[in-house]
Amino acid sequence: MIDIKALRENPEVGRESQRRRGADPALVDAVLAADERQRALLTAFENLRAEQKAVSRSIGKAAPEERQAVLGQAKQLAEQVRSAELEADAARTELDRLLAGFPNIVASDVPAGGEDDFVVLRHEGTIRDFDAEGFTPRDHLELGEALGAIDMVRGAKVSGSRFDYLTGVGARLELALLNAAMDRAIAAGFTPMITPTLVKPEIMAGTGFLGAHADEIYYLPADDLYLVGTSEVALAGYHSGEIIDLSDGPLRYAGWSSCYRREAGAAGRDSRGIVRVHQFDKVEMFSYVPVEEAEAEHARLLAWEEEMLQLADLPYRVIDTAAGDLGASAARKFDCEAWVPSQGVYREMTSTSNCTTFQARRLGIRERVEGGSTRPVATLNGTLATTRWIVAILENHQQADGSVLVPEGLRGYLGGLEVLTPLERRG
């Protein structure tokens, strides 16, 4: 939720944020009008209630001949107070509805535009020249099937399209990735967490996921619970309604969970292999920090993501996501995209978002500051490893004979295994 006080003081910042997102700036004026109406009705209600209390107190002091008139006045005021309260409550509900649909204010230096208007900040690593090496790279599914690592056919048989089994070295490779990610998170001061994958509607809404992309989320109506698409949701909800202590530095959590996404609207896109599936696993970083430290923490999360990509020896680029491609809760987002040889494109492997105080306001997460008052904290998140990385690892480290070299940084997590060998060549 945005800071309504800040919006009152400088509405043009909100309008410009909306324009840069490609959204309607008139939402700012609608919010401000609803806010003004709600405050006016609340003041009227409080004034009437104060008058009613004063009249009620005067009944016992009234002369006998005046008491009936005072009683009548008190009854009339009570009816007016009830009516005024209902009006004020309705105005509050309307304001809350508008605020719930208002996305976070984007940072001033975020690129304007949509999905294709990102800015490339840098490239890291070296893209292999397969032509010079004398062979055409296979895609990850062909490699994975030959290695006995990915089984899409049986995944579809059991669960439908966009489901898979990771088998043998595929399962081991995912566990290696996630364990390496968790080890690095712990070394950086994160508390490891195995998080719930089902959450209440108020937690899902509080993180900002029930807006324009709500159709991406699996919902269980019989239980009134949502399946998470990232452990960010559960980690954000962990301290909901609390006053937390940040005097000794940020609170950092690393959540390991299965994640679920409906991929609504993705028909025909990335339907081959495990690039875009309904279920995957992920280690997600989540930080609670004072708002003044959010930008620096964002840079740290990005650096930790890059360390993991370098551990996997993947060529990648870092992009500054354009405002129109940000989720509702993000003020700024950096993506790391690894090179996928078979497609000749970069694909997202990690993203890290600075959500400023947006989620904390919605979830009631505050810190106590000097003088004893409280204020919302800032929240940030970042992917440290996920199932999709297997796509980039298999394709970038493949050899002409169909084998795949294990990145040196992951070999210790695979019992020292250096090469993944096709099933047909195993003894």
Please identify which of the residues 172, 337, 388, 395 carries the catalytic annotation: 388
Q: What is the dihedral of CA 57, 62, 68, 70, to 10 degrees?
A: -50
The answer to whether residue 97 is catalytic is no
Beta-sheet pairing, 191-194 with 251-260 = parallel
Residue 122 annotated among the catalytic residues of the structure: no
Note whether 314 and 194 are within 8 A (CB). no
State both tokens at 267: 């028909």
Contact 277, 337 (CB under 8 A): no
332 is catalytic: no
Sheet holding 198-199, edge to edge: 198-199, 225-227, 219-220
Residues shown for the chain: 427
Answer whether 259's CB lies under 8 Å from 230's CB. yes
Q: Which listed residue (19, 49, 276, 347) is catalytic?
A: 276
* 342 given a catalytic annotation: no
- In the set 348, 375, 403, 411, the catalytic residue is 348
Instruction: Tell which residue, 375, 326, 377, has the closest CA to residue 353.
Output: 326
Catalytic residue among 138, 351, 353, 395: 351
20, 21, 261, 332: the active-site residue:
261
Q: How many CB atoms lie within 10 A of CB 251?
A: 21
Distances (CA, A) of 256 to 259, 282, 286, 307, 359: 9, 6, 11, 18, 21
Spatial separation of the C-alpha atoms in residues 295 and 297, rounded to whole Å: 5
Between CA 321 and CA 327 the distance in angstroms is 10
Can 92 be counted among the known catalytic residues? no
Burial degree of 270 (CB within 10 A; 0-12, 13-18, 19+): middle
Gap between the Cα atoms of 72 and 87, Å rounded: 23
- Could you list the active site residues? 261, 276, 348, 351, 388
